Structure 1
Amino acid sequence: MTPTHLPGRVAAIPALPEQTRTPPSTNALEKFNTAPVDEVRRLLLTCLRSLSWSQRITAHRPYPDLDSLLAASDEAAYDLSPADLAEALAGETLPALPEETYAAAHTALGAAHAAYEARFGHAFVICVGDAPPGEYLDRILEGIRSRLTNDPEEERVVAAEELRRLARERLVRHLTGTLGTHQGIPPGGPRP
């Protein structure tokens, strides 16, 4: 039997290719801008598990367009303190691998993640870009292996950048069709 997930935390979400991105409807952005503070914070916490990030984005509403919202998201992510970064990393979870993934792949991912977490003391995060779903596992394993050579400070910077990219992609997904249905999305965000 193939396990559907592994213990531990690795976050990966594909980027949406530019040509498939649907701009948010005026209604979705308007809903984001006018929704109750608690609802918006809950939605934002599915994008990035940092209270200060979600509070900052919420406090600066309304946003005139998606680009302004994404710029604010990026700026808030760049300003994460070490404690905020640790909080966000702690909220990331291992993505579900496709059902047909071999048990050996699960074992390889679990071992690579354990080595990463032992070295850096936090979850591995990566935004897999526009990779096809069949390549997610390879991209994740390649990322873990290559980043294990980083020194801790260099890896903190890389992990923060990956979190920023993940937050941005998750926010785009919410505003291009899933706004209002975010209840039930796992803490690490939507899964590929």
Structure 2
Amino acid sequence: MHAVNLNRFNSAPADDLRPLLADCLSVPRWVDTVLTERPYASREAFIESAGALAADLTADEIHAAMAGHPRIGERRTGDRFSSAEQSGVDASLADRLRTANERYEQRFGHIYLVFASGRSGEELLAILQSRLDNDPSAELRVVNAELAKITILRLRKLVTDE
């Protein structure tokens, strides 16, 4: 991913930024809104605005955004972010995570999505197990909040102050 400074972000053609933003959150309405709200007065104003928009997705948008994320413990080649974000997941947890992911997917009909950065594999597994008790609508709200956290982390890597 190519980081851009805020001045460049504010002035770049939308078509140049669209794929970079889609790498952060693959929701076309979100990308378009982030672009139309330019210029941003500061990096923090940008992060705050884009993060708030990411925290308010429709159910269809949440499902579409999840399609771009690998399962916890799964690596995808060519994924710009997930390998680093899931660095706390090691091979010793592979079978337990695979089994827990399957239970979660059977329960909710979608992958388990969590803000993984800085968390151990054991912690991610414990969070998954605790979320199995959620009802589907509550879990979708949790997923949306986790997507927003992931998006903010990615945006902080994308747009710099300098």
TM-score range, shorter chain: 0.7 to 0.9
Q: What's 2:138 paired with?
A: 154
SS at match of 1:62: coil
SS at match of 2:114: strand
Q: Tell me how far 1:42 sits from its aligned partner.
A: 0.7
What stretches of structure 1 move > 2 A for 4+ residues in a row?
Answer: 94-98
1:101/1:161 CA distance change after superposition, 3 Å: closer
Could you tell me the percent identity over the aligned residues? 29
Q: 1:1-192 maps to which residues of 2 (within 5 A)? A: 28-94=5-71, 95-96=82-83, 101-102=90-91, 104-128=92-116, 131=118, 135-176=119-160
Q: Tell me how far 1:136 sits from its aligned partner.
A: 2.6
Matching residue's letter, 2:37: H
| Cα displacement string for residues 62-83 of structure 1 (whole angstroms, at most 9, x for unaligned residues) | 1110121112112212331111
Unaligned runs of 5+ in 1: 1-24, 178-192
Which one has a larger percent helix, Structure 1 or Structure 2?
A: 2
Provide the C-alpha distance between the structure 1 equivalents of 2:13 and 2:123, rounded to a whole number of angstroms: 38
| Cα displacement string for residues 97-138 of structure 1 (whole angstroms, at most 9, x for unaligned residues) | 66x933x41111111111111111112111135x3xxx4312
RMSD between aligned residues = 2.5
Unaligned runs of 5+ in 2: 72-81
| Cα displacement string for residues 9-43 of structure 1 (whole angstroms, at most 9, x for unaligned residues) | xxxxxxxxxxxxxxxx9x70011111221221111
Higher relative contact order (CA 8 A, sep 6+): 1
TM-score, structure 2 normalization: 0.80
Matching residue's letter, 1:118: Q
Aligned length: 148
